[in-house]
Amino acid sequence: MGICGIYQIQNIINQKRYIGSSVNVMKRTRTHRYYLNMGKSPNIHLQAAWLKYGKYNFTFSCVEKTEKENLIQKENFWIDKFCTRDRINGYNAMIAARNFPRRKNFHVSEETKKKQSIAMKKRVANGFSPMLGKHHSEETKRKLRIANKGHVSWVKGKHLTNDHKQKLRILHLGVPLSAIHKQKLRYAHLGKHHTKEHTEKIRQALKGRKRPPYSEEWKQNMSIARKGKPAWNKGKVGCFSQETREKMRLSHLGKNRGQSNPNSKINRIKRGIL
């Protein structure tokens, strides 16, 4: 069982403090440290100071051990003593500490979930985003990178179940990407190339797989989409390297092009149709 009491997070540069209480001080301070290092602390003033001064300029300590029933009373006492609600002296919120009743076995109803989903979809459709139009400075990016260095992602080694994948597929099925989204994806991958090792892994993974035949609907959609558009390599000279051309030549060696398709361009030329 951990220590039940009052703790403080102190900035050793300017002596500002954050006062908190917990039934398990060690666990609570570890949680504080984790979210501060991730840049996701709900206390924006403490988070800003953490990024500004660095994690090595903050100390975590237990101020007083107390009984669980006296936690809130003692927390308010120490907050008032150090005046940590004042931005000059500390990082605590302006409201007084209070005890919130814990809701055990609490579940959100399906109706509430649906309402929340509709409300959020409307906000997203109207262009809502907490970071819309905002960008981290290079200095902030550097600090976040240093703070997150060495942390193992919570999804590392985990894999989605087939049922979960199917739900995600159905959720995104038929949802068109906006022009802004497409542009962001384009810029995100611009100039990036797979390493030779990665390319080889992809090649080995796809080796032996046969592409399923295209449906008539798919062919029709592709035909409409490409109509009037010139080929990507039209008018270009030297777009294929000598090595690639040799591989293409060898792959088609001994094959009678157009023999299996009587309506191919070559066979139509032979029959005098073109």
Quote the number of domains for the chain: 1
Residues 99/71, Cβ–Cβ less than 8 Å: yes
Indicate left, alpha or beta for 194 from its phi (over 0: left) and psi (-120 to 50: alpha): beta
Residues 53/2, Cβ–Cβ less than 8 Å: no
Q: Is 116 a member of any domain?
A: no
pTM of the model: 0.40
Q: Is 49 a member of any domain?
A: yes
Quick: pLDDT tens for 10-22: 999 999 999 999 9
Mean pLDDT of 147-156: 83
Helix (H, G, I), strand (E, B) or coil at 159: coil
Distances from the Cα of 222 to the Cαs of 214, 215, 218, 232, 249, in angstroms?
10, 11, 6, 15, 27
Structural domain of 24: 5-82
**pLDDT: which is higher, 257 or 215:** 215
For 62, half-sphere exposure in the C-beta direction (CA atoms, 13 angstrom radius) is 16
Q: Is 235 a member of any domain?
A: no
Nearby residues of 67 by Cβ (< 8 Å), 6 or more positions away = 4
Phi and psi of 5, rounded to 5°?
A: 175, -160
- Domain CATH code at residue 9: 3.40.1440.10
Give the bridge partners for 6, in sequence order.
21, 64
